[in-house]
Amino acid sequence: MRGKGLRYAVVVLVAVLLLSMGAGSVSADTVTGVPGKYSKEINYLISENIIQGYPDGDFHGDDKVTRAQAAVMVGRMLGLPGEKRSTDFPDVDKGLYASGYIQSAKDKGIITGFPEGDYRPNKSMTRAEMAYLIVKALRLEAKSDVTFTDIPKSSKLYDYVNKLSTAGISEGFPSGEYKPDRIISRTEFSLFVARGMNKEFKVSSGTEEPMEVLEKQIVTADFLNVRNGAGSNNQIVGKIYTGDTVSVYKKEGSWYYISSDNIKGYVHSAYLMDKPSKTYKVAIDPGHGERDPGASANGIVEKELVLDVSKKTREYLENAGMDVVMTRQSDWYPSLSGRVAIAERNNATEFVSIHANAASEGANGVETFYYASGMSSREFNSYKLAKFINERLYKEMDMTDRGVKNGNFHVIRETSLTAVLTEIGFLTNKEDAGKLKTQHYREAAARAIALGVMDYYNWKE
């Protein structure tokens, strides 16, 4: 079931569940009793006019869902006849509001009774029973390597719970259990519906109960697959990108269970780094500009290249929670002293000037400069910042490492800030220039510089 059909189905499911809801629409602000930690999902359903509350204005999140309500849900979803009628179950009276749906669902083999022959319409639904119903209702088929300690893989229930978890609609608990016999509440059901309707709320194997955040980390890869289990063979449930901040909840060897925005799942720890605990402010200086184009070769103008890379660097840093000052954001030329003044006036603590090199055709690679005339702490910090950036840069660019050098450049000499000047490749070298023409390597340069800055901040802490 897809598109409008799926939306209709979930609307019917919730409408049936909330048989006692009052007439008229309400806002999220007027419904009380919404659990705080799930307010986003439930308020989403309210904003979509799916949940409208009860006459007393309360959400009643702890109320239970009955098997009769479930039969109506499934019946309306599938368009089964719902007129009241006699049933094959001795405990389902013809006058029961759900009698028609119960018998129609039974005729289709969708629901069954208990061994004694009764249906028990007023019995509360369990997590196991709801798994059967939602998987059938939404026609979920995809499975993955999800396991639960209290559900053997050999059991029929395992397939249904696996499909529900693979779809990002339900999870287990920190103990590794699914708790199939646990009675399902209105809150839990609302979460299932929100996740079925909106991919932003989908989850992956982990926990439906709050977990303690162990630490904050930053993604260092271009992109990183988030999986529903600890291992590369598990299904991908989403992606996160360079500079994204993730909360780490648990560690299973080299795999971490994390959340980032609305994505939860496992990622490999090799592509994460510690998030600096403080918010720092760094000045990014795109070299040259306006009347000073810098070097030009192989179809590249330095002032245009470094402005592009600098803007990308700013984005990576800001995504990671850093404050950024730009000495220029367009094609204009601040003086060398003016660039330093912009950084210092805006209370930056670090200064990174970005350039591209030019020399003989054979010269190639990346290099990063700092200035030192003595042994001051500022000069040592500048050396360390240059080391961190250059180490990232030559690897990301797959270029020759020309190293870290002491350079007598105005913008890194005439400042009180920790300051470096990095050369991201030679425009006069065909191989370097070929890379610098592409957005792929410009992104790589920006990513390397940003990660080098964050490496430095982590070192300082």
Q: In this prediction, what percent of the chain has a pLDDT beyond 90?
A: 47
- Looking at the structure, do residues 386 and 369 belong to the same domain, yes or no? yes
pLDDT value at residue 77 = 55
Total tally of structural domains belonging to the chain: 3
pLDDT at 31 (0 to 100): 55
In a 13 Å sphere around the CA of 75, the CA atoms on its Cβ side amount to 25
Task: Assess whether 134 and 244 both reside in one domain.
Answer: no
Domain-terminating residue out of 274, 299, 320 = 274
pLDDT tops 90 at residue 7:
no
State mean pLDDT over 423-448. Answer: 97
Same domain? For 23 and 69 the reply is yes
Map the chain to HEC letters: CCHHHHHHHHHHHHHHHCCCCCCCCCCHHHCECCCHHHHHHHHHHHHCCCCCCCCCCECCCCCECEHHHHHHHHHHHHCCCCCCCCCCCCCCCCCCCCHHHHHHHHHCCCCCCCCCCCCCCCCECEHHHHHHHHHHHHCCCCCCCCCECCECCCCHHHHHHHHHHHCCCCCCCCCCCCCCCCECEHHHHHHHHHHHHCHHHCCCCCCCCCCCCCEEEEECCCEEEEECCCCCCCCEEEEEECCCEEEEEEEECCEEEEEECCEEEEEEHHHEEECCCCCCEEEEEECCECCECCCEECCEEHHHHHHHHHHHHHHHHHHCCCEEEECCCCCCCCCHHHHHHHHHHCCCCEEEEEEEECCCCCCCCEEEEECCCCCCHHHHHHHHHHHHHHHHHHHHHCCCEEEEEECCCHHHHCCCCEEEEEEEEECCCHHHHHHHCCHHHHHHHHHHHHHHHHHHHHHHC
Percent of the chain with pLDDT over 70: 85
Average pLDDT, stretch 29-55?
Answer: 64
Residue 209 lies in a domain: no
- Do 189 and 35 contact (CB within 8 A), yes or no? no
Mean pLDDT of 344-359: 97
Are 240 and 362 in a shared domain?
no
Examine residue 208 and state whether it is found in any structural domain, yes or no: no
Query: How would you class 111 by CB atoms within 10 Å of its CB: exposed for 0-12, middle for 13-18, buried for 19 or more?
Result: buried
Q: Confidence band (pLDDT; 50, 70, 90) for 12?
A: very low
Least confident interval from 143-152, 267-276, 313-322, 328-337: 143-152
pLDDT in tens, 365-385: 999 999 999 879 999 999 999
Do 158 and 228 have their domain in common? no
Is there a single domain that holds both residue 168 and residue 310?
A: no
Give Cβ neighbours of residue 360 (< 8 Å, ≥ 6 apart). 428
Tokens of 60: 């009643």
Tell which wins on pLDDT, 272 or 148: 272
Distance, in Å, from the CA atom of 448 to the CA atom of 325, rounded to the nearest integer, reads 18
What are 71-93's pLDDT values in tens digits? 776 666 567 788 999 999 999 99
Residues 269 and 335 placed together within one structural domain of the fold: no
Query: Mean pLDDT for the chain?
Result: 84
Are residues 263 and 309 located together in one domain of the fold?
no
pLDDT band for position 250 (cuts 50, 70, 90): confident
Cα separations in angstroms, 8 against 168, 197, 234, 272, 324: 20, 10, 31, 41, 47
- Looking at mean pLDDT, say which of 131-135, 153-157, 257-261, 359-363 comes out highest: 359-363
pLDDT at res. 168: 84
The better pLDDT of the pair 276, 284 is held by 284
CATH code (residue 437): 3.40.630.40
394 within a domain of the structure (yes/no): yes
pLDDT given for residue 21 in this prediction: 38
Out of 201, 229, 262, a domain closes at: 201
Classify residue 15: in a domain, yes or no. Answer: yes
Give the confidence band of 20 by pLDDT, cuts at 50, 70, 90: very low
Predicted pLDDT at 198: 75
Assess if residue 433 is contained within a domain. Answer: yes
- Residues 42 and 190 occupy one common structural domain: yes
Q: 114 and 232: one domain?
A: no
**Distance (Å, whole) CA 330 – CA 443:** 19
Among left, alpha and beta (phi > 0; psi -120 to 50; other), residue 78 is alpha
Boundary residue ending a domain (228, 253, 274):
274
Instruction: Report which listed range, 155-164, 318-327, 330-339, is most confident.
Output: 330-339
pLDDT tens digits for 380-400? 999 999 999 999 999 999 999
pLDDT at 48: 64
- Give me the pLDDT at residue 341, please: 97
Is residue 206 one of the residues assigned to a domain? no
Active-site annotation, residues: 423
Examine the domain organization and report whether 173 and 302 are in the same domain: no
Residue 55 has pLDDT above 70, yes or no: no
Is 222 in the same domain as 323? no
Instruction: Return the CATH number at 220.
Output: 2.30.30.40
Which stretch, 69-73, 110-114, 178-182, has highest mean pLDDT?
A: 178-182
> Is there a domain that residue 265 lies in?
yes
The confidence band for 36, taking pLDDT boundaries of 50, 70 and 90, is low
The reported pLDDT for the residue numbered 142 is 82
Distance between CA atoms of 325 and 343, rounded to whole angstroms?
7
Q: What is the pLDDT of residue 19?
A: 40
Quick check: is 415 in a domain?
yes
Domain that holds residue 108: 3-201
